[in-house]
Amino acid sequence: MNFASNRYQKIPYRHVGNSGLKLAPLSLGLWHNFGGKADLDNAREILKTAFDHGITHFDLANNYGPPPGSAEENFGKILHSDFKGYRDELIISTKAGYKMWEGPYGEWGSRKYLISSLDQSLKRMKLDYVDIFYHHRPDPNTPLEESMRALDHIVQSGKALYVGISNYGGERTRKAKAILDELGTPFIIHQPKYNMFVREPETDLFPVLREEGIGCIPFSPLQQGLLTNKYIDGIPEDSRIADPEGFLQENDLTQERLDKIVALNKIAEKRGQSLAQLALIWVLRDPVVTSALVGVSRKEQLLDNLAALDNMELSEEEEQQIEGILGAS
């Protein structure tokens, strides 16, 4: 498979915290649309489009699907059929923390679970190692030292090059960094939920990441599609809100939020952008954010997201207008 020869000239790259690793401002998340129920040809087209435009980072987790594990399996198939010879140009990450199998060792943060889960993930993707392995969520019932020592073991055994954490609060992140620093393990990245409607990381987490030199890669920067123009004129039948089994529910779209979406869309239109593009560059405005994880169901959505990078600067007036709309969201 041949990719665009100028793909690395199409997009800027940013250092992940104080590390030597660089990522594009957008990374591709494989949470939805890549599992057993997905169209494999469509998934292949999305992955190829991403790499053709300079996106090198593909983000998975053990339980991504549905069913759990199937996103890694499908990704592995596409990786070996379409990306032969390009492994060293890719950043592949996976995670463990949420429930993956039955019994007491199938979730959370024990050494047993984390190491076993990564072994399973590597088999599904047919890989010797991943570039980044995350603990997906903090475990209140397992000592933090045990989880972090498991991450250290994973790096020392050659199964991951770097480690990260996801969904940790600021203080627990600081403690995790101290443990991993003492062990000499390259903890470089944190993956929180962050967008215009979810701003808690700004006060709790971001100060710690800046002080500790840790990069940030937010998931759900578009709040699962709310921060697009999809819902301005009602709820489409093919939307996530219309899916009764989806994570996004109708009560997530309150009248207050809809009013904000409409107002934000007007700012985006004045800039010649879509609301999704505005929401992405807003997330990327803080230097602590290295990259934003986007999830798409069609390559056209990905191309629309990439177009945000053509106009990433927000004026002081625009930032003030956006802050006035968002208020205390």
3-state SS, one letter per residue, for 208-223: HHHHHCCEECCECCCH
In this structure, which amino acid lies at residue 84? K
What is the distance of C-alpha 283 from the center of its chain?
A: 12
pLDDT at 149: 98
Q: How would residue 237 be classed by pLDDT, with cut points 50, 70 and 90?
A: low
The superfamily in CATH containing domain 11-228+276-316 is NADP-dependent oxidoreductase domain (3.20.20.100)
Asked if residues 28 and 91 have their Cβ atoms less than 8 Å apart, the reply is: no
How far is residue 296's CA from residue 192's CA, in Å, rounded to a whole number?
A: 19
275 by DSSP, 3-state: which? helix
Q: How would residue 329 be classed by pLDDT, with cut points 50, 70 and 90?
A: very low
Tokens read off for 54: 């300079």
| Percentage, residues of the chain above pLDDT 70 | 93
pLDDT at 230: 80
Q: How would residue 247 be classed by pLDDT, with cut points 50, 70 and 90?
A: low
Asked if residues 136 and 147 have their Cβ atoms less than 8 Å apart, the reply is: no
The pTM assigned to this predicted structure is: 0.93
pLDDT at 242: 43
pLDDT at 328: 47
pLDDT at 250: 56
| Mean pLDDT, residues 189-200 | 97
pLDDT at 224: 87
* Average predicted confidence (pLDDT) for the chain: 94
How far is residue 260's CA from residue 40's CA, in Å, rounded to a whole number?
A: 36
Over residues 263-281, the pLDDT tens digits come to 999 999 999 999 999 999 9
Residue 147 pLDDT > 50:
yes
| Mean pLDDT, residues 155-159 | 98
Q: How would residue 248 be classed by pLDDT, with cut points 50, 70 and 90?
A: low
Over residues 82-130, the pLDDT tens digits come to 999 999 999 999 999 999 999 999 999 999 999 999 999 999 999 999 9
Residue 207 pLDDT > 60:
yes
Residue 251 pLDDT > 70:
no
| Mean pLDDT, residues 40-64 | 97
Backbone phi and psi for residue 93, each to the nearest 5 degrees, phi listed first: -125, 150
pLDDT at 1: 74
Asked if residues 16 and 47 have their Cβ atoms less than 8 Å apart, the reply is: no
Place of tokens 């399996």: 73
